[in-house]
Structure 1
Amino acid sequence: MKTKSTLKNHKLLLLFILLFAFSVNAQIGIGTVTPNASSVLDITSTTQGLLTPRMTTAQRTAITSPANGLIVYDTDLHSFEYYDSSVPVWRKIYGDAQGRLNYKLIKSTDVLATVLASELTAGGGTKYLLNTNTLYEINGTINVDRSIELNNAYIMGVDSGEDKLIRASGDLFVGTTGGSLRILTLAALSGKVFDITGTGSIASGTQTQTLIVRDCIIGNSNSVGKIENMALMFISIVQYINNASGIIYKDISKILLSNAAWFGSNSGTYETLQGTFGLVEKLGGFSEVTGTKIGLDVSANPTITGDAVMESVVFTGTLTTGKYVNGYTVGNFTGYNFDNKWNVRSSGIPTEMDANATGEFSVNFTPGNGVVGTVDNSGTATKITAATTSTSMFRFTANNTGRLTYTGFKKRIIKFNGSISFVAESNGKTGIYIFYIAKNGVTIGQTKVYGYTGSLTDMSSVPLSGSIEMNTNDYLEVFVDYYSGSAGKIKATSLILTAY
């Protein structure tokens, strides 16, 4: 019969044997009798998990001399934290997209209809209707089997040369909503990359959709497509390569195009503006236009209700019948491309800005001939009306009666200069006359200059110069008034006026 003492000794012996075995094997298995050879501790279960120490942030940071790699669960931050003694600092252990709640990773090995099953159902089985405000990360080349409606979601890659959305047949992005596309290659091999028409209207100010495309490559597509009726369209640092036709922008409240690179491998018309725009800004980048291609088409005379700016865009390439810019057919000036809402300063095409507005009219009669003007001593100046010849016109017009009208969009200071030559219209009508520049029919006192003539053969010439603030449709004319002598008529034999 064994005594209690004997049993106690047997238990101690068994414990000693177990501890000796653990020390020899350096492995512990919980839930398994065959711990993995690579592990010190192998915990196996299909019904329970591993529960780490849980504590508040204050308790975690109060741990004395934490070991490198020490892990706890922070109940304040709701995250696992591990200690990095090399800094030293506590670091968060992140999950998908660094803790984002609305996030999906799509890999090239995924079956798209499976990973986007709910989006396919939302799209009625014919398209993928993405989840609003959700980030879809693209990893590798994704062969898109149906069109995608962004629905104000975000699609992003990490390397635009590696992360791609390719649609072999049909359009890639469709619908009525915007969203954000970043760091991707986009291609619609036999369709359009974009076929998006937003909701609302620019006329009523009810547009709501925004589309942002940044740091992307768009290439090898049948058409870049059409984007219409958006509140904001922002494209920045996008390369266009080997597309059969370009993109149409229509009825967009604000459109910003920054550093777009259109290579000569593209065909057709690269960019077309149609309809109405509140603001257009195209900055930087280049359009390599060759042969019969067109870089920018505004021949549909798009209406700009605010301002339009094109700055530092390089137009280059050898043309045959093509054009860098297919210009406005209404509202432009000979030799220029745009109407007066545009401020253009880009290499390869004419500069067009209100600051460059210039106009000139002149009249030059044969000796002995001229235009007669009646001048009396009533104190009222008389306009010199002559059939003028207009030259060098940009954002000015002349009405063939001696009037220069400023047609620029912005108020600016206009400088002017010129001269007039005259004689007395009949013998005995000698005198001193005052010549003025008038704005909108009102003489500008500081421009007055005096001239004298004594006979039909006593030719006089006076200079005209000055500057004046002008708004759109303000106009300049030349007036004459009597000062002293025998008031009557003078004959202007030549007249020139230049404004700039």
Structure 2
Amino acid sequence: MNNTASKNYRTLLLLVSIFLSLIANAQVGIGTVTPNASSVLDITSTTQGLLAPRMTTVQRNAITTPADGLIVYDTDLKAFYYYSSGSTSWLVVSSGINPRLNFKRIRSTDNLATVLATELTNGGGTKYLLNSNTLYEINGLVTFNFPIDINNAYVQGLDSNEDIILRTTGNIFEGATGGNIKNVTLRAATGSVFNLSGTAAQNLVFRDCVVANSASVGTISGFGLVFLSIIQFAGNTTGITYNNITQLLLSNMGWFSTNTGTYEKLTGTFTLVEKQGGFSQVEGTAIGFDVSTAGLAISGDAVLESVVFTGSNTAGYVKGYTTGSYTGFNFNNSWSVRAAGIPTETDASATADFSMDYAVGSGIGVSFTNGANPSNIVKVGSGTPSTTYSNLFRFSTDAANRLRYQGKKKRIFQIGGSISFQVPAAGTYIIYIAKNGTAISQYKIYGRGQVTNDIVVLPLNATTELVNNDYIEVFAQRYTGSNGDIIVPNMTITIE
């Protein structure tokens, strides 16, 4: 055998040996001669990496009958994807240590009948009944052909400008359960975004979203907690009605002038209502905030704070209570209101005054029933005096010369005024401010008539704390002098 033949023979033996070794060990090492025993392929390098197939989303979706576990890198979405035959879809390779198990992504290119097949079956073929505690990510513009029963799931996009839920006919969300909706735009072209009627055990959180170009924003009723935050409303024909909700929290709602109808309306019973921040641009015949429905009742606190009402239709900023409000104001005693464009209404602004004024030589008599001095203390004007009440806010009057506090918060009031009276004979008299029928002795003031029919004029001043339903009156007492009535032609009281 010549040298060339011998050399070729040795090379062939080496290749056969390597091949037989690979078959025997079922392992390949690249960059190492000792591949890990647990691997089929062991690639070792400190200067280079493994480059997987790279392709666009369209190219990835075009792969015919992908194998279960096939891996590619999506250059559009900048992420690794693997194919799951169990869900018949491509799934992103999670970078989290504990990736979410209850998760579905719904893309604009997806066939909902496939991606949400289980949800449609569970909804009886007429709605998508979502799986509770599952995150449904909206990716792009997704048109739903049936309404969504959120069923305590999470519906979320990444960018509300791009991630859109659209229904060309019918409502978007229906049912009796709550959930969480975030970072999406909602459009119900001919129906309502919400048609929800739940129970006090259900909560709904809706935040960082846009509601646009819908026939109606809809109705949310019966929930224990409804929390809406940072929502933009634009181009909607009719707004939203909140009904029978235990706790209603509205934060930074933006209602643009492109909306029509009534933006927000409250009906039924509530324990707590708080609307804070945001704005309502009210034009044409639109109504910004409607509390006029009979039977609206709030057992706890109601707050309208730092909301800006603007627009040419100033009369439509608020459609106020038909009963229980005060002249020139919109709300009843349950509310604390500090909002630009409408009157401030708080217990801190409570005020009232009354005046009793008779012609010279006449007035209302005040009789002291015992003959001793000092006499008994009696109310001034306990009959039917000619009295004018004005500027009543968070105060009412249910008896002659009485001002009753109707606010919900305890506060301190300043009381001022004056009284003039004619004495039957020379004598000294004491005038009191009284609270709940009892004279406040530290604020008594003395006045003396020198002769019969003398006129005494005294200032009235007091400071006192009032809680809901407390009332203020004026009392008088004879300290010295003869029996007989004093005649009061004039008295004024202001409390603030």
Task: Name the structure 2 match of 1:413.
Answer: 412
| Paired AA for residue 419 in structure 1 | S
Name the CA distance, whole Å, in 1 between partners of 2:343 and 2:466: 24
- The equivalent position to 2:260 in structure 1, one of 251, 254, 267, is 267
What pairs up with 1:5-44 in 2 under 5 angstroms? 10-12=9-11, 14-15=13-14
Name the CA distance, whole Å, in 2 between partners of 1:50 and 1:136: 37
1:488 Cα deviation from its structure 2 partner: 2.5
Q: TM-score if structure 1 supplies the norm length? A: 0.81
8 Å contact 2:374–2:479 — kept in the other structure? no
Task: Name the structure 2 match of 1:303.
Answer: 297
| Paired AA for residue 163 in structure 1 | D
What pairs up with 1:128-207 in 2 under 5 angstroms? 128-199=128-199, 207=200
- The equivalent position to 1:334 in structure 2, one of 327, 331, 335, is 327
8 Å contact 1:361–1:398 — kept in the other structure? no
Unmatched tracts of structure 2, length 5 or more: 19-24, 32-37, 51-92
8 Å contact 2:357–2:386 — kept in the other structure? no
In the alignment, structure 1 residue 211 sits paired with structure 2 residue 211 = no
Seen in structure 2, the aligned counterparts of structure 1 residues 135 and 97 have a Cα distance that, compared at 3 Å, is farther
What pairs up with 1:210-289 in 2 under 5 angstroms? 210-289=203-282
Name the CA distance, whole Å, in 1 between partners of 2:169 and 2:245: 28
In the alignment, structure 1 residue 395 sits paired with structure 2 residue 391 = no
Residue deviations 1:65-120, cap 9 Å, x none?
A: 987879xxxxxxxxxxxxxxxxxxxxxx7258971010001110001121000000
**Structure 1 outlier segments of 4+, above 3 Å:** 6-19, 49-53, 65-70, 95-98
Seen in structure 2, the aligned counterparts of structure 1 residues 404 and 52 have a Cα distance that, compared at 3 Å, is farther
SS in 2 for 1:452: strand
Seen in structure 2, the aligned counterparts of structure 1 residues 67 and 100 have a Cα distance that, compared at 3 Å, is farther
Residue deviations 1:391-442, cap 9 Å, x none?
A: 0110101235111111111222122111101111x3xx11111110111111
Residue deviations 1:173-203, cap 9 Å, x none?
A: 000001111010001000000000003xxxx
Seen in structure 2, the aligned counterparts of structure 1 residues 404 and 284 have a Cα distance that, compared at 3 Å, is same
In the alignment, structure 1 residue 317 sits paired with structure 2 residue 316 = no
8 Å contact 1:418–1:497 — kept in the other structure? yes
Q: TM-score if structure 2 supplies the norm length? A: 0.81
Unmatched tracts of structure 1, length 5 or more: 20-29, 32-39, 42-48, 54-64, 71-92, 200-206
Name the CA distance, whole Å, in 1 between partners of 2:97 and 2:465: 58
1:317 Cα deviation from its structure 2 partner: 0.5
8 Å contact 2:413–2:465 — kept in the other structure? yes
SS in 2 for 1:352: coil
Name the CA distance, whole Å, in 2 between partners of 1:11 and 1:221: 82
SS in 2 for 1:239: strand
- The equivalent position to 2:363 in structure 1, one of 370, 377, 380, is 370
1:261 Cα deviation from its structure 2 partner: 0.4
8 Å contact 1:358–1:393 — kept in the other structure? yes
Name the CA distance, whole Å, in 2 between partners of 1:315 and 1:432: 57
Seen in structure 2, the aligned counterparts of structure 1 residues 490 and 262 have a Cα distance that, compared at 3 Å, is same
1:212 Cα deviation from its structure 2 partner: 0.7
8 Å contact 1:139–1:163 — kept in the other structure? yes
Calculate percent identity across the aligned residue pairs: 49
| Paired AA for residue 391 in structure 2 | S
Name the CA distance, whole Å, in 2 between partners of 1:97 and 1:160: 27
In the alignment, structure 1 residue 476 sits paired with structure 2 residue 475 = no
Task: Name the structure 1 match of 2:63.
Answer: none
| Paired AA for residue 346 in structure 1 | A
In the alignment, structure 1 residue 443 sits paired with structure 2 residue 445 = no
Moved more, 415-424 or 181-190: 415-424
1:381 Cα deviation from its structure 2 partner: 0.4
In the alignment, structure 1 residue 404 sits paired with structure 2 residue 403 = yes
SS in 1 for 2:242: strand
Residue deviations 1:438-459, cap 9 Å, x none?
A: 1111111111001111335522
Seen in structure 2, the aligned counterparts of structure 1 residues 156 and 464 have a Cα distance that, compared at 3 Å, is same
Moved more, 363-372 or 258-267: 363-372
1:481 Cα deviation from its structure 2 partner: 0.6
In the alignment, structure 1 residue 344 sits paired with structure 2 residue 340 = no
| Paired AA for residue 348 in structure 1 | G
8 Å contact 1:423–1:455 — kept in the other structure? no
SS in 2 for 1:119: helix
| Paired AA for residue 136 in structure 1 | Y
| Paired AA for residue 287 in structure 2 | I
8 Å contact 1:387–1:400 — kept in the other structure? no
1:489 Cα deviation from its structure 2 partner: 1.7
Task: Name the structure 2 match of 1:357.
Answer: 350
In the alignment, structure 1 residue 423 sits paired with structure 2 residue 422 = yes
| Paired AA for residue 464 in structure 1 | L
Seen in structure 2, the aligned counterparts of structure 1 residues 11 and 328 have a Cα distance that, compared at 3 Å, is farther
Moved more, 218-227 or 6-15: 6-15
How big is the alpha-carbon RMSD for the aligned residues of Structure 1 and Structure 2?
A: 2.8
